[in-house]
Structure 1
């Protein structure tokens, strides 16, 4: 069931309540990619266990009919070597944290069982949020993203054994597979429990990747 969003949550969003009793249920916060919106990943989220609150957040800045979490710093070359604009990135990271905290209160979410699922810019944002506060998130799914340089050297206490799924496309020309693999390498090095997925195709989520994501999430939050 999709609810009318609470107005005191900083970011616009869609909330899908879990089946059964929503009180103190776990949640997944969904972060879309550049140029998309809060509806974009709902078809993915609908495959996840039905005892989850789904809170799909909209990025703050309009872009080409959709929204973006930040502008791109292209000073290192083309799109394939881009980095988040530092000021925009910081603002979005803070807005997501504020929105998560507000949603926990608004929807009576279990604050100890929060996951993040992000695609592209949303994946980059999700990985950085985990590094900044690993005790806040029970698991993270990062699809077709990379580890921002601003966070690449962080080695926070508490990240050990945190489940992280990193998915990549072998033909992805927006975020090459090598960048996702480097993120997975780094998270393994600092002790996270990393699951890797490599899939034929480009910058999108195919059926096998979706199936693997669902299996990963089910293994950490339960399911039918």
Structure 2
């Protein structure tokens, strides 16, 4: 079953460059592919293993993780099904590549950040942490999972027209309400990854890496 789950997603894998390294599950934005966030992954953590799948939804030639009915209006049924498929891929890939599943960190931008948030909310024991750029709250009524011990870094733009500030605030509230340790950092820009946000995420991830190498993981 795990082999089928891994084969279901076209993906790239780069082994870790150090023992006890994190694994970054890289989730691209709309129109991206499995190559898009490799450079970002290396910038965030030069020692981590990189696992970068491609979204399976084709929206007029653009790769996405799940269908939407309009800009900012998600197909919830499809989102749930695709989230569960991605969770199976991540679990299978950890076994296939002999990765420590307790050191799996999702890194997502835009549509990729949205499905990473859905992974947190639907599969609360899958991820150790997540770094989300320009994310929205993907589920109106997410399940009441326990995210204690899970860290989440959110980078959001005050003038983002696609993922407006109230969406980042709602997502942060949902995650905190389920026990996650959330750090929400704002930048003045729009829908993108800004230099300051990248530096903040890198520093945050460095602290997480240090903590996971010295303390037992949940």
Normalising by the smaller structure, the TM-score range is 0.7 to 0.9
Higher helix proportion, which one?
2
Question: What residue ranges of structure 2 are gaps of 5+ in the alignment?
Answer: 212-218
User: Kindly tell me: are residues 90 and 186 of structure 1, through their superposed partners in 2, closer, same or farther at Cα, counting changes over 3 Å?
Assistant: closer
| Equivalent in 115, 118, 131 of residue 108 of structure 2 | 118
1:42 paired residue number: 38
User: Does residue 128 of the first structure (1) align with residue 118 of the second (2)?
Assistant: yes
For 1:203 and 1:65, locate their aligned partners in 2 and report how far apart those are by CA, in whole Å. 21
Q: What is the deviation of 1:129?
A: 0.8
Q: What is the deviation of 1:103?
A: 1.1
TM-score, length of structure 2 as denominator length: 0.86
SS in 2 for 1:112: helix
1:55 paired residue number: 51
Question: What residue ranges of structure 1 are gaps of 5+ in the alignment?
Answer: 1-5
1:180 paired residue number: 168
User: Kindly tell me: are residues 132 and 7 of structure 1, through their superposed partners in 2, closer, same or farther at Cα, counting changes over 3 Å?
Assistant: closer
Contact 1:37 1:66 in 2 (8 A): no
Q: How many residue pairs are counted as aligned between the two chains?
A: 208
SS in 1 for 2:44: coil
User: Does residue 160 of the first structure (1) align with residue 148 of the second (2)?
Assistant: yes
User: Does residue 137 of the first structure (1) align with residue 133 of the second (2)?
Assistant: no
TM-score, length of structure 1 as denominator length: 0.84
2:215 paired residue number: none
What is the alpha-carbon root mean square deviation over aligned residues?
A: 2.2
For 1:96 and 1:46, locate their aligned partners in 2 and report how far apart those are by CA, in whole Å. 22
